[in-house]
Amino acid sequence: MAFQLDAYWVWDFWLADDGERYHMFFLHAPKALGDPNLRHRNARIGHATSTDLRNWTSHGQIFEPGPKGAFDDTANWTGCTIRDDNGLWWLFYTGSRFLSPDSFANIETVGVATSPDLFTWTKQPGPVSVADPALYEVLGSSSWPEEAWRDPWVFRVPGDSNWHMLITARDRAGDEFDRGVIGHAISTDLVSWQAQPPLSVPGAGFAHLEVLQLLEVGGQMHLVFCCNQSRLAGGKAEQLGGIWTFPVGAFPGPVDPSAARLIVDEHLYAGRVAFDRSGKPQLLAFVNVAADGTFGGGISDPLPLILDADGYLSVEQSS
């Protein structure tokens, strides 16, 4: 296992590359809680660095959740880190606010912090992006126990002045268990974001599409996301879940996640693809199911990826 902490569960994470070191920002919660299911209400963001994606040095927690009543007063969840044209680093993250200690009801929104060096972070006033009830399901508009607007992935398209954000979201219509869509928002300055219609439609077989990542391999754009077995719907119900991928065309544009295939099953989860110093894509993920069947917690060794004959990402098989 490439990264683990003795006293903490480690799970969702994302990566930034400053050209010399890889920076991993990871969710963690104390094992002293006893029950790993409690980790979500106690998630904090940590920071670690590596030169090879295998050997990591932990630098501790980067900041605390907000004060009571803030959009992130319960926990800080998954996000992404990008660098603007002036060299400033922006860390977009999910703010989670659970409405009561005995309920699963929670509201997810997107916040942001900035840093000159990836080590010292300053939270900016937030949230900067929320679910638009005219376009997306929100808490109370269905029986679903959360307002899903999380896991922001921010990127640019050549020739486009806008920044784009992909978001784990749910549609306002359709079978309640099959409403997972790819949310979309745009910004010109990384501060003010406008929600756009989703890039996919409900009914693709996913209650949610988590931890989205857009990347280019071999001149082709690919989406990577996660969904476990308990959140598969329609024709995918009862199948194994895990880390999914599918190739996409000009982006952002309409996409069809029903075409997604598994890269690995859900013994690994929340996969992120990074490029090693030779330029080869490597999949890292957190260990979701340990050898004894319990929750793992910790980041896997990199798995090299290749393109299959039909253009899908897959794990390279050792010879």
Q: Render pLDDT for 152-187 as a digit per residue (tens, 0 to 9).
A: 999 999 889 999 999 999 999 999 999 999 999 999
- Tell me the CB-side half-sphere exposure of residue 252, using CA atoms within 13 A: 22
Q: Render pLDDT for 32-59 as a digit per residue (tens, 0 to 9).
A: 999 999 999 999 999 999 999 999 999 9
Least Cα distance to 276 among 50, 25, 3 occurs for 50
| Average of per-residue pLDDT across 105-126 | 97
User: How are beta strands 106-115 and 146-147 bridged, if at all?
Assistant: parallel
Residues 6+ apart with CB under 8 A from 272: 13, 14, 15, 211, 213, 224, 283, 284, 285
Q: State if pTM tops 0.95.
A: yes
Q: Return d(Cα 62, Cα 244) in angstroms, integer.
A: 29
| pLDDT band at residue 195 under the 50/70/90 scheme | very high
Answer yes or no: is pLDDT of 319 > 70. Answer: no
Answer yes or no: is pLDDT of 102 > 90. Answer: no
Q: Return d(Cα 196, Cα 130) in angstroms, integer.
A: 11
The pLDDT > 70 percentage for the chain reads 100
Q: Return d(Cα 311, Cα 141) in angstroms, integer.
A: 39
**Which residue matches tokens 């039909």?**
310
Q: Return d(Cα 319, Cα 307) in angstroms, integer.
A: 16
| Average of per-residue pLDDT across 119-132 | 97
pLDDT of residue 251: 84
Least Cα distance to 184 among 172, 174, 173, 193 occurs for 193
Q: Return d(Cα 314, Cα 167) in angstroms, integer.
A: 24
Domains in the chain with CATH codes:
8-315 (2.115.10.20)
Instruction: Supply the mean pLDDT for the chain.
Output: 96
